[in-house]
């Protein structure tokens, strides 16, 4: 459920400003909207400090955690930053030395100071490289000594008693010999290793740095709210939104602290934040919404419950394997045991537990356990299968094509039900508006197009009464949509209506992806099973067969998870949401509070 919001204007004197903000922050009930862009030197400094701490935390997170170093918290981040600067300097030095080594190595090891002395004494010496196929002309008085050659290049030393130049690439003399470069390379590499070891010493302080980061973030948040407040003569004020059911808390705080306040209802011109407060059984879906970073708009539908139910169904169809489902359940229960007390991890684990249970049920009905043939399953597992979903025609006789058609029929039916719920929900919400006629029209179109899909894709012969009512029902649906668009003056919808009807047809067909991805997953599992059986499970061959099964089913699980992310979530956030009018344009309710506080 999307919690009802109201608007707040809170007034205090400049002398009360600091105390007011501290008290308001402790309430964590107001989503503050800045009256003016927050700015100022103090805020800039706080933001820079936050970035400073975050960079130190990011570096420490790349190292395995160890015991805390017991370093003074006030100096910890500075110590880490000194290492960051040191590491950067050493890496730049190392890169420069490696480049110089590659540049000079073909000419061998020599002391460049001796060449400089010879140049000062009138013997000019230079280093050149040129292509083997196109050597340069050698001027009179110039002596060439080949030092090295590669597949395409020759590296030479040229000498003369007077200034000269060759039509080839002259290589600048190094500042130090190759031996010295190698020495400094070893020294720099060792220094880098020592720096890495010092980083490791502070890896156990990550939690302390996270705490410092939280305090820094609190400081930025506080200053942004303070600097974003408005001011009129002897009064400072802020505006924001708050849950309507927390109004009594605000009134009590205002009376206790002497604040002036004004409460208003949200208007059509406002864009309040969205606070979802769903039943406990629906809360696992927040793990997905947080993962993809979406939230419905304040005036949109909260589809969390339907999202959870249908995502679980889609997960079952896409993974489609009871064996995988049992494996997921075992891993989830292990994860819940290891993360006991970690509230943040529970929604995701609970969601996986729900979806895995759906997967086990679907896999049992279709007789799919790690891609093993139904006929090879034990009798108790075969007894759990559904004759319709497995294409059973007689005892011991199953038709895979018939089973595929039945599963596709279920997919199209689920899709039609999904879209029906979207328009039905909208119809109820808009029942007192002419806009409701459009959703009634789309319901007529959806069910008509569903029968068309069954006939065109699955070649199902429709009853006469269905066939004869298809066109009238579709026409009535389009007529209701046109009437609604005209009455609500949404004339642009008339232009796109034909395309929208086609999209409705395509959306129903798109649910066949549940069958397609699930069938692909089954085919992969069966293919790897066949490879393992070909090798056999005798002697050392059994090790290879086991590795094939492990790698194959592991890959299949990864691909299935990707399929759920791409297809399962898409069907909820795109196909269903577009029909339900959910644009996911909401703003997360983010009350003014400390970083360490919970909602």
Is the pLDDT at 318 greater than 80, yes or no? yes
**pLDDT confidence of residue 106:** 94
The 3-class SS string of 403-419 reads HHHHHHHHHHHHHHHHH
Using the predicted structure, report yes or no on whether residue 296 has a pLDDT greater than 70: yes
Domain end, chosen from 152, 176, 200, is at: 176
Average pLDDT value for the chain: 92
Residue 505 within any structural domain of the chain: yes
Residue at 195 is within a domain: no
Residue 372, domain extent? 301-580
Residue 199 lies in a domain: no
What per-residue confidence (pLDDT) applies to 599?
42
Question: For the segment 217-267, what is each residue's pLDDT rounded down to a tens digit?
Answer: 999 999 999 999 999 888 999 999 999 999 999 999 999 999 999 999 999
Q: What is the predicted pLDDT for the residue at 597?
A: 65
| 309 and 243 both lie in a single domain | no
Give me the sheet containing 153-160, strands edge to edge.
143-149, 153-160, 124-131, 169-171
What is the Cα–Cα distance from 28 to 278, expressed in whole angstroms?
Answer: 19
Q: Are 295 and 276 in contact (CB under 8 A)?
A: yes
Closest CA to 591 of 169, 21, 1: 21
Q: Quote the radius of gyration of the chain (alpha carbons, Å).
A: 36
Regarding whether 536 and 470 lie in a shared domain, the answer is: yes
For residue 149, the cross-strand partners are 154
Give the count of alpha carbons within 13 A of 381, CB side only: 19
User: 138 and 249: one domain?
Assistant: no
Helical H segments across 488-537, by residue range: 492-495, 497-510, 513-535
Which two three-digit tokens encode residue 392? 């059973």
Instruction: Work out the average pLDDT over 402-414.
Output: 95
Q: Residue 118, SS3?
A: helix
Is the pLDDT assigned to residue 379 strictly greater than 50? yes
Are residues 398 and 486 located together in one domain of the fold? yes
Q: Is residue 91 part of a domain?
A: no
Residue 254's alpha-carbon distances to 8, 10, 247, in angstroms, are 12, 9, 11
Residue 245 CB neighbours (<10 A): 12
Residues 6+ apart with CB under 8 A from 147: 106, 107, 108, 155, 156, 157
Kindly state whether residue 541 falls inside one of the protein's structural domains. Answer: yes
- State the total domains in the chain: 3
In a domain, 488, yes or no: yes
Residues 13, 130, single domain; the answer is: no
The pLDDT value recorded for residue 366 is 95
Q: What is the mean pLDDT of residues 8-37?
A: 93
| 373 and 224 within one domain | no
- Compute CA distances 327 → 284, 366, 372, 424, whole Å: 20, 17, 15, 37
CA distance 176 to 280: 71
Asked if 361 and 467 sit in the same domain, the reply is yes
Distance CA 446, CA 440 (A): 10
Shared-domain flag, residues 488 and 368: yes
Phi, psi angle pair for 555, to nearest 5°: -60, -40
Structural tokens at position 298: 């304040």
pLDDT for 485-514, tens place per residue? 999 999 898 999 999 999 999 999 999 999
Query: Contact, 369 vs 322, CB < 8 A?
Result: yes
Q: Residue 50 sits in a domain of what CATH number?
A: 3.30.70
Please state, in angstroms and rounded to a whole number, the distance separating the CA atoms of residues 348 and 345: 6
Q: 278 lies in a domain?
A: no
Question: Which pair of structure tokens corresponds to residue 195?
Answer: 């720096």
Give the DSSP letter of residue 564: I
- Looking at the DSSP bridge assignments, the partners of residue 369 are 372
How many residues are recorded in the chain? Answer: 599
DSSP state of 35: S
Dist. CA 453–CA 450, nearest whole Å: 5
Q: What 3 state SS string does 188-204 have?
A: HHHHHHHHHHHHHHHHH
The secondary structure of 277-319 as a DSSP string is ---TTTGGGHHHHHHHT----TTS---HHHHHHHHHHHHHHHH
pLDDT at residue 598 above 60?
Answer: no
Whether the Cβ atoms of residue 319 and residue 521 lie closer than 8 Å to each other = yes
Q: What is the pLDDT of residues 33-79, one digit of tens each?
A: 999 999 999 999 999 999 999 999 998 888 888 888 888 888 889 99
156 and 26 part of one domain: no
pLDDT single digits (tens) 526-585: 999 999 988 887 878 888 889 999 999 999 999 999 999 989 999 999 999 999 989 998
Residues 408 and 531 placed together within one structural domain of the fold? yes
Asked, for residue 85, whether it belongs to a domain, the answer is no
| Domain match, 32 and 136 both | no
Strand bridging mode 153-160 / 143-149: antiparallel
Please check whether residues 44 and 157 belong to one and the same domain: no
Residues 207-217: pLDDT tens digits? Answer: 899 899 999 99
Which of the listed ranges 149-158, 341-350, 540-549 does the model predict with the highest average pLDDT? 149-158
Half-sphere exposure of residue 218: CA atoms within 13 angstroms, side-chain side: 16
């Amino acid at each position: 459920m999307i919690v009802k919001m109201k608007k707040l204007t809170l007034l205090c004197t400049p002398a009360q400003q600091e105390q007011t903000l501290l008290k308001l922050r402790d309430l964590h009930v107001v989503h503050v909207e800045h009256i003016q862009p927050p700015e100022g030197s103090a805020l800039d400094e706080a933001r820079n400090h936050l970035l400073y701490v975050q960079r130190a935390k990011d570096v420490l997170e790349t190292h395995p955690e160890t015991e805390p170093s017991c370093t003074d918290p006030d100096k910890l981040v500075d110590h880490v930053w000194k290492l960051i600067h040191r590491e950067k300097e050493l890496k730049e030095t190392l890169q420069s030395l490696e480049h110089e080594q590659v540049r000079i190595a073909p000419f061998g090891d020599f002391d460049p100071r001796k060449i400089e002395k010879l140049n000062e004494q009138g013997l000019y010496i230079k280093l050149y490289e040129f292509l083997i196929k196109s050597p340069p002309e050698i001027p009179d008085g110039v002596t060439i000594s080949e030092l090295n050659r590669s597949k395409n290049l020759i590296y030479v030393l040229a000498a003369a008693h007077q200034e000269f130049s060759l039509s080839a690439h002259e290589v600048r003399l190094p500042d130090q010999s190759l031996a010295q470069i190698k020495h400094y390379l070893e020294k720099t590499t060792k220094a880098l290793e020592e720096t890495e070891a010092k980083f490791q010493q502070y890896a156990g302080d990550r939690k302390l740095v996270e705490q410092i980061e939280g305090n820094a973030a609190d400081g930025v948040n506080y200053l942004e709210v303070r600097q974003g407040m408005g001011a009129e003569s002897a009064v400072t004020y802020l505006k924001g939104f708050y849950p309507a059911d927390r109004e009594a808390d605000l009134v009590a705080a205002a009376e206790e602290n002497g604040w002036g306040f004004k409460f208003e209802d949200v208007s059509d011109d406002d864009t309040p934040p969205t606070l979802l407060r769903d039943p406990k059984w629906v809360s696992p879906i927040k793990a997905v919404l947080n993962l993809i970073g979406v939230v419905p708009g304040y005036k949109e539908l909260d589809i969390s419950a339907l999202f959870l139910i249908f995502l679980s169904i889609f997960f079952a169809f896409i993974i489609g394997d009871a064996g995988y489902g049992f494996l997921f359940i075992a891993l989830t229960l292990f994860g819940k045991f290891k993360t006991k007390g970690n509230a943040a991890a529970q929604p995701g684990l609970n969601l996986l537990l729900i979806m895995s249970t759906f997967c086990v049920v679907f896999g049992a009905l279709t007789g799919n356990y790690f891609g093993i043939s139904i006929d090879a399953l034990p009798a108790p597992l075969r007894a759990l299968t559904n004759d319709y979903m497995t294409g059973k025609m007689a005892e011991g006789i199953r038709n895979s094509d018939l089973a595929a058609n039945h599963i596709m029929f279920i997919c199209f039916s689920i899709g039609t039900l999904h879209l029906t719920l979207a328009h039905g929900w909208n119809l109820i919400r808009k029942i007192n508006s002419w806009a409701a006629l459009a959703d009634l029209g789309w319901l007529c179109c959806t069910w008509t197009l569903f029968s068309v899909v069954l006939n065109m894709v699955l070649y199902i012969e429709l009853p006469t009464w269905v066939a004869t009512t298809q066109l009238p029902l579709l026409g009535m649906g389009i007529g209701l949509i046109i009437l609604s668009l005209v009455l609500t003056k949404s004339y642009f919808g008339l232009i796109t209506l034909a395309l929208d009807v086609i999209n409705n047809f395509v959306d129903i067909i798109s649910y066949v992806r549940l069958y397609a991805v699930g069938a692909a997953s089954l085919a992969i599992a069966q293919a790897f099973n066949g490879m393992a059986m070909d090798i056999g499970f005798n002697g050392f061959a059994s090790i290879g067969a086991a590795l094939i099964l492990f790698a194959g089913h592991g890959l299949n699980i990864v691909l299935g998870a990707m399929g759920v992310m791409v297809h399962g979530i898409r069907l909820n956030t795109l196909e269903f949401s577009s029909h339900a009018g959910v644009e996911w344009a909401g703003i997360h309710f983010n009350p003014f509070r400390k970083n360490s506080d919970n909602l």
